[in-house]
Structure 1
Amino acid sequence: MTFFDAPKSPKRRRFAGWIAFGVASIVAVGLLVVPTGFVIERPGQVFNVMGQIDGTQVISSAEVETFESESRFDVTTVSLLGNRESTPSWVQVLYAWADPDQVVLPLDEIFPPSFTAEQFRAESSLQMEVSQQDAIAVALKKLGYEVPRALYVNTVLEGTPSSGILIAGDLITSAGGVPVDTFDAFKAQIQLAKDSALSIEVIRDGQKTSLLVTPSLRDETWVIGSTIGYTYNFPFELDLQLGDVGGPSGGLIFSLGVLDALTEGSLAGSAHVAGTGTIDPDGNVGPIGGIALKMLGAKQAGAELFLAPEANCQEAIDKIPSNLTVVSVRDLTEALEKIELFANGEQLPAMQCNN
């Protein structure tokens, strides 16, 4: 005798179909709305510092003559999708994982748990402001100007060690008994003090004052709860306008742009140069994040030469886009030398990294 399964009734088939549809819908909604814990980096916009943004010249001055240039110097950026308040969806994360032109990173790596998106933007804006001031100072010193510099308190956060002790506008002259005129030197004294009272000498309303601030520990770093900026005594006012761009990585390109704007002729001839890298008050070029994405953004914008910090060489060397000449530079002087060679049509050696 042969037995056969009884056929499922249309009602049972419809019921199973609805269950499958419901499960698929829940999964789809989850992929769209469940927080991921990641952010996505992509190539961002590029900005020619020798040009205009929204009709305003990026580099200008009402006090000194500036010159037009045929050269193009692009600041490169990374576009960031997501923050602590709103992460990208799982659909976006899965797509980005499969796309070589995007990078998926853990949320905490970009936004420390103690930072809100507003605090991140504020710090990024301050970094850009400091970077621009350093870039102008380095360029002016290259042109032979004297440029005195001092640290100052930009803001004091409520409920932090500095609250009620430091005030915005204080000029910082020393910390821990050591003269300081760079943020790194000041930060180093804070780390040395740890949880002991740190003596900070400031000039307030023209008077020297000694204050005691006890740092607190945040994310393995000792902090005092103040944002610190540079103030320079420039020989004339120079305005740098780059819209809503933050971070310090445009320093090198800003210095090159200022040099080009303040001298007749075109620093790189008619070449299209892009690059990235911080610049310190002595003209040294420092490392940045997102080098591969910035090179890709430069290539997409039509750049011919890309200046990369030497400290990023190992990260960059295997990710250089085709038909883009990439060179590593240690400081402003080396950047100028390699730009001159390129502008004169000389073949630059292939990028090599020092071990």
Structure 2
Amino acid sequence: MALFTEDQMASAHRGTRSGRAGWIVLGIALIVGLILAVAPAPYVIDKPGPVFNTLGTTDALGTTTAGAGTPLISIPGETTYPTKGSLDLLTVSQVGNPEQRPNWLAVAAAWFDPSQAVVPIDQAYPPNVSQKQVDQQNQLAMVNSQQDSIAAALSELGYDYPSTVTVVSLPDKSPAAGLIRPDDQVVSVNGTAVGDIAELRDALKANGAGTTATIGVIRDGAKKTVTVTPVANAGGVVVGINVKMSYQFPFDVQIQLDKVGGPSAGMMFALGIIDKLTPGAIQGGAKVAGTGTIDQTGTVGPIGGIQQKLYAAQGAGAKWFLAPADNCDEVTGHVPDGLTVFKVTTLDDALTALDAIRTGAGTASIPTCPAG
């Protein structure tokens, strides 16, 4: 007696073939998916980086320690005072570069991690700009920010010192090529004195692009004037010179921090210097973190990677965070649990917030970036 009809047997064979084909398609899909997952993606990933206590010391690896090591800030020859707690500066680590991009699997994981950000690689590394050039620019920005932080701190403490706007270099095809040289000190625009970079920018903006400007410089100790026609660039007006502030401080302030670039540590350096030069802990020994650029006048400017820095601060155990006011829109809705974010526009704002933390009263009156 037949257990299956011929139609039933044919149907079973078709089902077997169909099932086998399905598994083959699934296997191919999994292989293709795996290949795509490990393939390089056109992105880099920003994540919380190392945290450095400006009141602490750095070891041979560049990490901050509470014990023996090289002080991150030292002021030889001047009276300094014991400090307590921490004034942490924060960094962002970037995973990937044009030569070694992260894979799609890592990018997908970063999309769902609130402490990380996925950035198009062309945004992080503009075309025709090498990794070496990016590193050099970041290192120069760090060096300049350290000098500006010293200037801001000493100005806050009432010290007087001369300062100049000094030409570092000229970019390719600069309108000032052959007219202005590296190491020239820029002292005026159209007869109006300029004492800092902001005043230089404002004077050039007032002059306008396409209209000749008379630039006063000091070269090798001698005063000279040159005529340059500024051009429009990125919403501003420039003469094609890269400049920095040069200061003649009344004493030496040394900042030792390797392998970190960019200008965003300026405010925290300034606070660390002030703390060392004044009796008592300006934040009462609390663990405070923060970020922000700073200039000679004490103006605090915005920075990149604020969300990653918030999580870095939380991971380091900070309960208080000083953030540039111009970054508040990026902070709101992204504040990790247990962190209060004060909004600061100037160095004085930051000191007021630290004083409120120190005294334990009045923090409710300090402006904050809303948590959500």
Q: Which among 21, 43, 46 is matched to residue 51 of structure 2? A: 46
Structure 2 counterparts to residues 121-136 of structure 1, below 5 A: 121-136=135-150
Please give the alpha-carbon distance, in whole angstroms, between the structure 2 residues aligned to 1:285 and 1:19. Answer: 58
Deviates more, 1:148-157 or 1:193-202: 193-202
Q: Which among 163, 174, 178 is matched to residue 164 of structure 1? A: 178
Q: Do structure 1's residue 145 and structure 2's residue 144 form an aligned pair?
A: no
TM-score under structure 1 normalisation? Answer: 0.86
Going from structure 1 to structure 2, the CA distance change for 1:20 and 1:226 (only over 3 Å counts) comes to farther
Q: Secondary structure at the match of 2:332?
A: helix
Q: Which among 278, 288, 304 is matched to residue 263 of structure 1? A: 278
Residue 336 of structure 2 corresponds to 321
Amino acid at match of 2:144: V
Residue 64 of structure 2 corresponds to none
Q: Do structure 1's residue 332 and structure 2's residue 347 form an aligned pair?
A: yes
Amino acid at match of 2:167: V
Q: Secondary structure at the match of 1:228?
A: strand
Structure 2 counterparts to residues 3-152 of structure 1, below 5 A: 4=10, 7=13, 24-25=30-31, 27-36=33-42, 38-54=43-59, 55-152=69-166
1:294-351 CA distance string (max 9 Å, x none) = 1111111011221112222233232222222322122222221221221122252185
Amino acid at match of 1:51: G
Q: Secondary structure at the match of 1:109?
A: helix
Amino acid at match of 1:116: S
The answer to whether the Cα contact below 8 Å between 1:72 and 1:270 also exists between their aligned partners in 2 is yes
Q: Which among 251, 254, 266 is matched to residue 251 of structure 1? A: 266
Going from structure 1 to structure 2, the CA distance change for 1:290 and 1:181 (only over 3 Å counts) comes to same
Residue 3 of structure 2 corresponds to none
Going from structure 1 to structure 2, the CA distance change for 1:182 and 1:344 (only over 3 Å counts) comes to same
Going from structure 1 to structure 2, the CA distance change for 1:131 and 1:85 (only over 3 Å counts) comes to same
TM-score under structure 2 normalisation? Answer: 0.83
Please give the alpha-carbon distance, in whole angstroms, between the structure 2 residues aligned to 1:33 and 1:340. Answer: 51
1:144-201 CA distance string (max 9 Å, x none) = 2112221101123455434433322111112344322222332344555434544322
Query: Deviation of residue 16 (structure 1)?
Result: 9.4
Amino acid at match of 1:295: L
Going from structure 1 to structure 2, the CA distance change for 1:118 and 1:344 (only over 3 Å counts) comes to same
Number of aligned residue pairs: give it. Answer: 353
Query: Deviation of residue 260 (structure 1)?
Result: 0.9
The answer to whether the Cα contact below 8 Å between 1:85 and 1:117 also exists between their aligned partners in 2 is no
Q: Secondary structure at the match of 1:194?
A: coil
Q: Do structure 1's residue 184 and structure 2's residue 193 form an aligned pair?
A: no
Structure 2: where are the runs of 5+ without partners? 1-5, 60-68
**CA-atom RMSD in angstroms:** 3.1
Going from structure 1 to structure 2, the CA distance change for 1:353 and 1:293 (only over 3 Å counts) comes to closer
